[in-house]
Amino acid sequence: MELGSRLIEIYHRLYQAYGPQGWWPGESPFEIMVGAILTQNTSWRNVERALARLKAEGLLSPERLYALPLEELSERLRPAGTYRVKAARLRAFLEYLFRVHEGDPGRLAQGELETVRRALLAVPGIGPETADSILLYGAGHPTFVVDAYTMRLLERLGLLPAGASYADCRTLFMAHLPPDPQLFNEYHALIVRHGKERCRKRGPRCSSCPLLDRCAYGVAQTGEESDGSAGAVGTAR
């Protein structure tokens, strides 16, 4: 089966199994961008606590946040963990936002995708996943967000070689799917949902997987049968 069709089939299976995920939770593009930085190596629940603190004090706007002294910012980010690191990273992002986009997330969204992406990657503390999250979920650009779940899943499905890079994985999706932000949005969220429930790093082999038995932890990685034969194994029950 052609790769694009295979990726679409996987998407449909996930969607059928889990339904719409409603990503990214947030009341504004700016809140989403802040959340993208806060969620680095952190559970979303802890991110929500920090966002709630900022909201409760009316600080969740580019101007207010930028005006907040670094120490006060980091205190409010405590519940999200790695709070001193995140305060510095958030500050660096705000400096970029004001320097290049007049502090306006809407203007960031109007920029050309790859141009803004390169600029974001140059901001200390913003790596590829955070940049793509900001661009896709915050700015509505058709860029695919790759995370550990995504890499693990594609490797287990035999669509990526072991040790593939972030760029390899992103390119795989973007070269074989239409550049549809809504599709990319839901697809990534579904992969994370699937990963949390059934495609973990460790743990028992997943049962009744909506995808393929092969995405399960512990299944031999032979790399063979790259066509659709394995795709018929999973049934969304």
Partner DNA sequence: GCCCAGGTGGGTA
Partner DNA sequence: TACCCACATGGG
Sites of contact with DNA (CB under 7 A): 23-25, 35-36, 39-46, 49, 74, 78-86, 123-131, 133, 137, 147-148, 163, 192, 196, 200-202
- To DNA, the closest distance from the beta carbon of 200 in angstroms equals 6
Report how far Cα 149 is from the mean position of its chain's Cα atoms.
Answer: 10
Provide the H-helix boundaries in 19-104: 29-38, 44-56, 62-67, 70-76, 83-101
* Interior angle at CA 15, CA 9 and CA 21, nearest 5: 145
Between 131 and 212, name the residue whose CB sits nearer to DNA.
131
- Amino acid identity of residue 183, one-letter, is L
In whole angstroms, the minimum distance from the beta carbon of 50 to DNA comes to 9
CB of 115 to DNA, least distance (A): 18
Which residue's CB is nearer to DNA, number 201 or number 237? 201
User: What distance, in Å, lies between the first and last C-alpha atoms of the chain?
Assistant: 23
Least gap, CB of 152 to DNA (angstroms):
9
The two three-digit tokens of residue 162, written as one number: 């072991």
Contact present, 151 and 215 (Cβ < 8 Å): no
**Closer Cβ to DNA, 93 or 231, answer by number:** 93
Residue (65 or 190) nearer to DNA, CB: 190
